[in-house]
């Protein structure tokens, strides 16, 4: 029987993960099938266990179940525990379920490898304080930025993430407080508004000359945040498509022990979206 993998979430019909992993499999010669599983809030655990009982080897986990997956995992990696969220489940040889989080490494590879950005010594602003942001903080801190600022509509939620940024200068702000900030070299939009094409109100001058932005969401057209960045003179404007493929490649590597090439898959997905 061909090894089975899937993405689980709600909704999940729109997920491009099957497209991505099918191309990884073709590229690497790995024999696998990858599908979609839709779960409800009250049957996530049961849906995962039924998939594994049928021979499933691993799952990608998307909204809104990343914290549920963290609780379900028998063992967790350090980066999953740091984020308190799991987006990759791996059935181990002894039958236990391992949870990992590949979101942060996916974002980092897209920024530093695909777009040649240097984060060391830079001022970085992260917008939002939800689960998507939790997963990217450790890789950002490991790049040793000059300063890491988290801004959120509810400041207390941003403050709650500061312990995850130990080792660098960091602080939390409201969106209104950003008007008094010096310009940032990189601004990452991890707000849920990015998924709906909206964006928080940001002041002019927030982006440094030659600055870059990264939108964690993606689509066929530029988002409101990306259009704002262009108006602010950003030299590098990135959406979340590269991050999506890079985090998927890390999951594929964890499952199969083979690291696929991401550039052709990013290009194929970009063309498909267009």
Tell me what pLDDT residue 220 has.
87
Task: Please choose, from the candidates 162, 200, 202, 159, the residue with its C-alpha nearest in 3D space to the C-alpha of residue 184.
Answer: 202
Element (H, E) at 66: helix 66-72
128 and 42 in a common domain: no
59 and 128 in a common domain: no
Catalytic one of 21, 66, 82, 109: 66
Who contacts 197 (Cβ-Cβ below 8 Å, separation ≥6)? 219, 223, 224
Provide the residue-wise pLDDT of the chain in tens; the chain has 274 residues: 799 999 999 999 999 999 999 999 999 999 999 999 999 989 999 999 999 999 999 999 998 999 999 999 999 999 999 999 999 999 999 999 999 999 999 999 999 999 999 999 999 999 999 888 999 999 999 999 999 999 999 999 999 999 999 999 999 999 999 999 999 999 999 997 655 667 888 999 999 999 999 999 888 889 999 999 999 999 999 999 999 999 999 999 999 999 999 999 999 999 998 8
Domain CATH code at residue 75: 3.40.50.10860
**Axis crossing angle, helix 263-273 with helix 17-28, rounded to the nearest 10:** 140
162 and 142 in a common domain: yes
- Known active-site residue 157: no
Residue range(s) defining the domain that contains residue 52: 3-101
- Domain tally for the chain? 2
**Maximum alpha-carbon separation in the chain:** 60
121 and 91 in a common domain: no
Tell me what pLDDT residue 195 has.
58
């Amino acid at each position: 029987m061909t090894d089975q993998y899937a993405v689980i979430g709600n909704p999940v019909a729109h997920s491009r993960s099957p497209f991505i992993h099918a191309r990884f499999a073709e590229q690497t010669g790995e024999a696998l099938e990858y599908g979609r599983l839709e779960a409800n809030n009250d049957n996530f655990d049961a849906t995962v266990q039924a998939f594994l009982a049928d021979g499933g080897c691993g799952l990608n986990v998307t909204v809104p179940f990343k914290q549920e997956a963290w609780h379900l995992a028998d063992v967790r990696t350090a980066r999953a525990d740091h984020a308190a969220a799991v987006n990759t489940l791996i059935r181990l040889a002894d039958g236990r379920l391992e949870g990992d989080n590949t979101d942060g490494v996916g974002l980092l590879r897209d920024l530093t490898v695909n777009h040649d950005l240097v984060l060391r010594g830079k001022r970085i602003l992260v917008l939002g304080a939800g689960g998507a942001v939790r997963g990217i903080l450790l890789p950002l801190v490991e790049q040793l930025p000059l300063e890491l600022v988290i801004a959120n509509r509810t400041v207390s939620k941003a403050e709650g993430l500061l312990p995850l940024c130990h080792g660098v200068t960091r602080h939390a702000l409201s969106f209104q407080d950003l008007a008094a900030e010096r310009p940032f070299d990189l601004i990452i939009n991890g707000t849920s508004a990015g998924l709906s094409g909206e964006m928080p109100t940001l002041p002019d001058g927030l982006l440094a000359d030659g600055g870059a932005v990264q939108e964690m969401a993606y689509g066929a057209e530029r988002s409101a945040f990306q259009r704002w960045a262009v108006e602010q003179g950003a030299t590098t404007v990135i959406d979340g498509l590269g991050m999506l493929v890079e985090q998927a490649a890390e999951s594929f590597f964890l499952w199969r022990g083979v690291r696929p090439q991401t550039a052709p898959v990013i290009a194929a997905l970009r063309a498909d979206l267009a």
